[in-house]
Amino acid sequence: MDQRIKIFGIIAIIGFIAGIIASLALKHLVPWLREVLPSLSNFTDYLIAGIVGAILAVILIAVWVRISGKQDNYY
């Protein structure tokens, strides 16, 4: 059970970091995207936040998996 709590905590931290980065990206991408796609101006904030957050979460988890490495010596 202790291992599961650690994994949930790490994923929560990764999600928090991804959210901060996505928020910073929104400040720069939203004005540009509103000029490019004016028809989506009502959904631009949510669209960019979701896409950037998903990409960052996947990248950060992939980096975490690489760093943690293979711990099991039975293979």
Q: What is the pLDDT of residue 70?
A: 66
Q: How many helices (H) and strands (E) does the chain have?
A: 2, 0
> What are the structure tokens assigned to 33, written together?
């995207």
Q: What is the pLDDT of residues 46-74, one digit of tens each?
A: 777 777 777 877 887 788 778 877 665 55
What's the whole-number mean pLDDT along residues 19-39? Answer: 76
Give the pTM: 0.49
Q: Considering only CA atoms, which of 44, 40, 48, 41 is closest in space to residue 21? A: 48
Residue 15 tokens, joined: 């999600």
| 20 band by pLDDT with thresholds 50, 70 and 90 | confident
Q: How confident is the model at residue 7 (pLDDT cuts 50, 70, 90)?
A: confident
The structural domains of the chain, with segments of one domain joined by +, span 26-65
Is residue 26 a contact partner of residue 52, using CB atoms and an 8 Å limit? yes
Cβ 14 vs Cβ 57: under 8 Å: yes
* 37: phi then psi, degrees, rounded to nearest 5: -125, 75
